[in-house]
Structure 1
């Protein structure tokens, strides 16, 4: 009986492993470049998925004896290094690390006048199942509701919330960047601001707790780096860092919430935390990935609530599917002023390079927006002339 030649299968396996493994190594290396092009920054997101490609590729390279040659050995080393690096970046967002924000030890109902709860939801503007969203809001009954990607249709559907949450800030827009805030707690001097781009609103206010104490609240939803949205992450980064710089020297209890269109482990998110001095309640608790709600294998945390060291966590949850491409996220915080001294050391500290980078990114954000406005203005006369000839 003639022997069957399986050398082709070995070569095929080695080829596939080399292709997948090289892609995983490249996806690890690109975000190390401090470039803001969307096709580079997009690889900040799928770190867990990259590990899911790199580790099996490393195992396959070993089993297929690729390490016996110099190129295969090099690939195996790079795959193991990529896996370790990606795991190192993800590790803080697992229960394997200590919690950056402590759990509140107060018994339920011990100090309700010092609690504040928020629900952040990207509703997906084209989603027309408002009933699911309203049911989730009713079930969790947050003090403050932030809904983004909200147009006039969504405002009409959510308007009933004003019966229980009479303090509002409403900026519905048809461009997927509308923003609605409904609050049961009194809003003090609320403002809708356009920090970088004139069609991207953000919300800024103080919130009066039942105790009478005030908490600063900032809500954001910047554009993501994506070909259909923004060719770079420049303006997204600038908006987040501008807020971080504004609150850097504040001693007031502060919360920053929203769909940041950035993952918690990105360089920009870490830079924001260092500059602002805020904490991330996800650290030590879990990823709580909120996007993409319909794709189990491709999810990452895009919706965030950062806060100052004055708070401890009573509850944090990713909420049920509402028909959007994002899951809502819910957070209940306990305002415990003494916690500031306890948890201040948990905040990451900025250095001189951080300050320089923040100023550079903010300046580039304003410059990029100004350049885009000039291009739009220059294109309008040409369009008008073309339409009349």
Structure 2
């Protein structure tokens, strides 16, 4: 049993150290990558305590050392204020989903999107095995954006799309900012609103920080009152980079908390939706898995 106990001690110690280091991402960006996996570190530390055997004081101390950084990192996300609105108000159902370039069941994923009955669909990684399904979605959602070659994004709507592009445009029609797919939706009997979808690189890439900065600067140049931005952001809410983005995108509010990755046991919320101050949240939930490595997220909004 000694090797098992030694392994448990190492697992506990490593999990505790990694969990505390993950909290340092705000001061040292290199540590922020660890923040994405903060829940795993806590689980590893507690699992290690089981292998190490029950000894009252070391076990209690180890559990506290493991749980405190989890509480510091994760609890503020669940206490964060999200503007709510009555479910009786006219609603907009928005689905965001990374359909994954290696999707093992593209037809099943497309059917799940259709069955969710969203008003607006924003997809990422459509450039792989899922691409043939875009035509199938087009039969159920009569309006869609056009994306140039190499673009892996798509927007579908059951309402007319008045305008859209792969880059934002100023009042004179000049394009600016980083590439992101957007559409201006014109619901019948309601005010138009703009949606945009994007896909950030992984947090291991230096390009992600540059992309986040460029997106925030570009969105600051447009009217964000009724804007909705969603996509695979490869960021968890307990990462310092996510907190920084929440501030940078204000007055947009991040409406999502639901975990979306990995598919089998989603514990990490990395697919997000932001909405401007004209919107309030009715609900946001994770949908069942299909062939993608992400779960789709369905968000219901209503005008405030």
Which interval holds the TM-score relative to the shorter structure?
0.7 to 0.9
Given that residues 82 and 281 in structure 2 are in contact (C-alpha distance below 8 angstroms), is that contact kept between their aligned partners in structure 1? Answer: no
- 1:65, distance to aligned residue in structure 2 (A): 6.6
Relative to its length, the structure with more helix (as a share) is 1
Given that residues 258 and 284 in structure 2 are in contact (C-alpha distance below 8 angstroms), is that contact kept between their aligned partners in structure 1? Answer: no
Counterpart position of 2:136: 160
Of the three residues 167, 180, 189, the one matched with 2:163 is 189
Given that residues 96 and 123 in structure 2 are in contact (C-alpha distance below 8 angstroms), is that contact kept between their aligned partners in structure 1? Answer: yes
Counterpart position of 1:235: 207
Instruction: For 2:280 and 2:139, locate their aligned partners in 1 and report how far apart those are by CA, in whole Å.
Output: 29
Counterpart position of 1:228: none
Q: How big is the alpha-carbon RMSD for the aligned residues of Structure 1 and Structure 2?
A: 3.1
Of the three residues 8, 15, 18, the one matched with 1:27 is 18
Counterpart position of 1:223: 201
Counterpart position of 2:173: none
Determine helix, strand or coil for the equivalent of 1:154.
coil
Instruction: For 2:295 and 2:167, locate their aligned partners in 1 and report how far apart those are by CA, in whole Å.
Output: 26
Verify: 1:105 aligned to 2:75, yes or no: no
Mind listing any 5+ residue stretches in structure 2 that lack a counterpart?
Answer: 169-177
Determine helix, strand or coil for the equivalent of 1:155.
coil
Counterpart position of 2:295: 327
Aligned residues: 291
Of the three residues 245, 267, 292, the one matched with 2:217 is 245
Given that residues 21 and 53 in structure 1 are in contact (C-alpha distance below 8 angstroms), is that contact kept between their aligned partners in structure 2? Answer: yes
Given that residues 51 and 87 in structure 1 are in contact (C-alpha distance below 8 angstroms), is that contact kept between their aligned partners in structure 2? Answer: no
Given that residues 151 and 172 in structure 1 are in contact (C-alpha distance below 8 angstroms), is that contact kept between their aligned partners in structure 2? Answer: no
Counterpart position of 1:288: 258
Given that residues 124 and 149 in structure 1 are in contact (C-alpha distance below 8 angstroms), is that contact kept between their aligned partners in structure 2? Answer: yes
Bigger Rg, which one: 1
Instruction: For 1:188 and 1:236, locate their aligned partners in 2 and report how far apart those are by CA, in whole Å.
Output: 31
- 1:273, distance to aligned residue in structure 2 (A): 1.0
- 1:30, distance to aligned residue in structure 2 (A): 3.5
- 1:328, distance to aligned residue in structure 2 (A): 0.7
Verify: 1:49 aligned to 2:52, yes or no: no
Relative to its length, the structure with more strand (as a share) is 2
- 1:13, distance to aligned residue in structure 2 (A): 5.1
Counterpart position of 2:231: 258
Of the three residues 133, 136, 139, the one matched with 2:112 is 136
Instruction: For 1:221 and 1:12, locate their aligned partners in 2 and report how far apart those are by CA, in whole Å.
Output: 44
Given that residues 197 and 229 in structure 2 are in contact (C-alpha distance below 8 angstroms), is that contact kept between their aligned partners in structure 1? Answer: yes
- 1:93, distance to aligned residue in structure 2 (A): 4.3
TM-score with structure 2 setting the length = 0.82
